[in-house]
Amino acid sequence: MNKWIVYILECNDKTLYTGITNNIERRLYQHETGVGAKYTKGRGPFKIIYKESCTDRSAASIREAQIKQLKKEEKIKLCRT
């Protein structure tokens, strides 16, 4: 079973997108081809600037919600740690 990952993408327009997946390569491909999420459609190319492993989907969803509550500056600081 794959680990769940919380990730932050930097979009081409310098905005940030936070999501979860259990297959980061597949998910990045989905974003790049316009089927990953409404928000990322047309905003590529993308750069993964943060990844965090979680024990299961529930933990990943909780962590994703926590990260989404952060201001952009706080997310950037998180990515640098």
The pLDDT tens digits for 45-74 are 999 999 999 999 999 999 999 999 999 999
- Angle at the Cα of 28 from the Cα atoms of 11 and 15, rounded to 5 degrees: 15
pLDDT at 1 over 60: no
pLDDT for the residue numbered 15: 96
Please give the biggest Cα pair distance in the chain: 34
Q: In what order do the strands lie in the sheet with 47-54?
A: 16-21, 4-10, 47-54
Q: Domain 4-80 is classified in which CATH homologous superfamily?
A: GIY-YIG endonuclease (3.40.1440.10)
Structure confidence at residue 44 (pLDDT): 92
Quickly count helices (H) and strands (E) in the chain: 3, 3
Provide the residue ranges of all domains of the chain, joining segments of one domain with +: 4-80
Give the pTM.
0.93
